Chain A
Amino acid sequence: QLQLQESGPGLVKPSETLSLTCTVSGGSVTSSTNYWGWVRQPPGKGLEWIGSISNSGSPYYSPSLKSRVTISIDTSKNQFSLNVTSVTAADTALYYCARLGAGGFVMMFDYWGQGMLVIVSS
């Protein structure tokens, strides 16, 4: 059974970089069937797709966040990570990592971490 777990600082200062890691167990980040992604939910708002990365490490990002976001894979640790630079209070959110599975040609987030609250505040 695939399991994902987010980790990282829960408090980040404005203008600094938010860094989160997702540790994958029960499967490999480099498996040909696995793509990965990050989703966030600001307080009182809906889900927002941040970006995704293929098993070979090719990323693609939300246009609204593209200039500040980096997603990468660490094969040695079976993890993938999220960096968001120059954060503001608007980046305060519950951050989820998830696996992008495939149902035929359709991709979907079928396994999720439990989520991690990150607060941006001085």
Chain B
Amino acid sequence: DIQMTQSPSSLSASVGDRVTFTCRATQTISNYLNWYQHKPGKAPKLLIYAASTLQSGVPSRFSGSGSGTDFTLTISSLEPEDFATYYCQQTYSALEYTFGQGTKLEIK
């Protein structure tokens, strides 16, 4: 089975900062990698799919890159509403659509 590991597990940053999250798969998953934002009490929100494609309606300060086993999500300039937990998910293996354990982005 494919395991997804996110780093760091938590991150403190300030409004206006540039932040990068990483996600690593235990085997190659091509570009079958999605990123979600999750806030308490709300449904997860799809940000990026296929590693680098911005979901409709998502601000352009979010970007994704990577292929194979290593992926990144970057927020170019943090806004107050960006503080949340971010998850990666692989959909390469139809037998198990694994999520990473999440990275919690907190206000410094």
What is A's interface to B at a CB cutoff of 8 Å? 37, 39, 46-49, 52, 60, 62-63, 96, 98, 103-110, 112-115
Contacts and interface: CB of A to CB of B under 8 A. Distances in A.
Nearest to A37: B97
B95 A60 contact: yes
The 8 closest A-B pairs by CB, nearest first: A112-B43, A108-B49, A106-B50, A107-B91, A46-B102, A108-B34, A49-B97, A47-B99
* Contact-size category for B: 20 to 34
Interface of B: 1, 31-34, 36, 38, 42-46, 49-50, 53, 55, 85, 87, 89, 91, 94-102
A78 B49 CA distance: 27
**Most-contacted residue by chain B among A39, A60, A103, A105 (CB, 10 A):** A103
Nearest to B97: A49
Nearest to A113: B43
28 contacts: A37-B97, A39-B44, A39-B99, A46-B87, A46-B99, A46-B102, A47-B38, A47-B44, A47-B89, A47-B99, A47-B102, A48-B99, A49-B96, A49-B97, A49-B99, A52-B97, A103-B50, A104-B50, A106-B33, A107-B32, A108-B50, A108-B89, A109-B34, A110-B46, A110-B49, A110-B55, A112-B43, A113-B43
Contacts of B102: 46-47
Contacts of B49: 103, 106, 108, 110
